[in-house]
Amino acid sequence: MNTLSVSIIQTKLFWEDKLRNLAMLEEKIMGITEKTNLVILPEMFSTGFSMKPELLAESMEGETIAWMKRLAVSKKIILTGSLIIEEHGNYYNRLIWMLPNGNLGFYDKRHLFAFAGEDQFYTAGNKRLITSVNGWKINLQICYDLRFPVWARQQSEEQPEYDLLIYVANWPERRNHAWKTLLTARAIENQCYVIGVNRVGEDGNQINYSGDSMLIDPLGTVLFSNAHEDLIHQVELKKDSITEVRGRFPFWKDADDFHILQDEHHD
């Protein structure tokens, strides 16, 4: 119950080519030989960061969800990453949390990247997803959410809400300083582990991605970082170390009490 084994997949993506991406990712996932609890894929892992949801969106009964379920069950892993989902006439940048028993949870990206027009094509979510694994509580978010610290902020007075904060991303290389700085800040201010999983390579809009996938501990120390390589990195997190940090430096107890007011217009 103390350790959590995580596999980070930092990879190039084939632009708007679902079949090639799923075949490539399946080979990577099935090739993982170490025991792992959780495999993390980038944002929009089946297509790249596309603004063509009318062509690329799937339903929750579609091929990619079935693919995730098949791999999670066969490898006995949790598989997570985001993809384009259509539901009730709306399109979502939806993170799927697929469990090894075939059940799933999901999180719809709250902060849509207006700079690239994401808000013109997709509907924002309004609920966070904090899930539990092996005694760990994990907060799941997507890319641009990283710029909005209130959305990730621990909100519990009795004890911290979560132990690990995960961001899946297609974060461009030209703004990688912000990516690396904000991931570190989220770890320090929330006294939690942070994992950021980003893609590499160039997309169909000639935007370059350096990856810079990272693992950061609750004190803000970078335990892993890699730029530009196509890789699978295995990490093992220990619950004892986070408990020790929070006990020795109980800064979380002094946090401001606040509540997030939800918009009702997203539906």
Q: Active-site residue 127, yes or no?
A: no
Give this prediction's pTM: 0.96
- Of the listed 43, 58, 118, 173, which one is catalytic? 43
Backbone angles phi, psi at 236, to 5 degrees: -125, 115
Pairing of strands 208-216, 222-227: antiparallel
Q: What is the pLDDT of residue 263?
A: 64
Q: What is the pLDDT of residue 1?
A: 62
Enclosing H/E stretch for 55: helix 53-56
Q: What is the pLDDT of residue 165?
A: 98
Q: Active-site residue 143, yes or no?
A: yes
Task: Identify the three-state secondary structure at position 82.
Answer: strand
DSSP 114: G
CATH of domain 3-247: 3.60.110.10
Q: Active-site residue 192, yes or no?
A: no
- Of the listed 18, 58, 118, 143, which one is catalytic? 143
**Tens digit of pLDDT at every position of the chain (267 positions):** 689 999 999 999 999 999 999 999 999 999 999 999 999 999 999 999 999 999 999 999 999 999 999 999 999 999 999 999 999 999 999 999 999 999 999 999 999 999 999 999 999 999 999 999 999 999 999 999 999 999 999 987 788 999 999 999 999 999 999 999 999 999 999 999 999 999 999 999 999 999 999 999 999 999 999 999 999 999 999 999 999 999 999 998 888 888 887 765 444
- Of the listed 18, 69, 109, 180, which one is catalytic? 109
Sign (positive/negative) of CA torsion 53, 56, 62, 64? negative
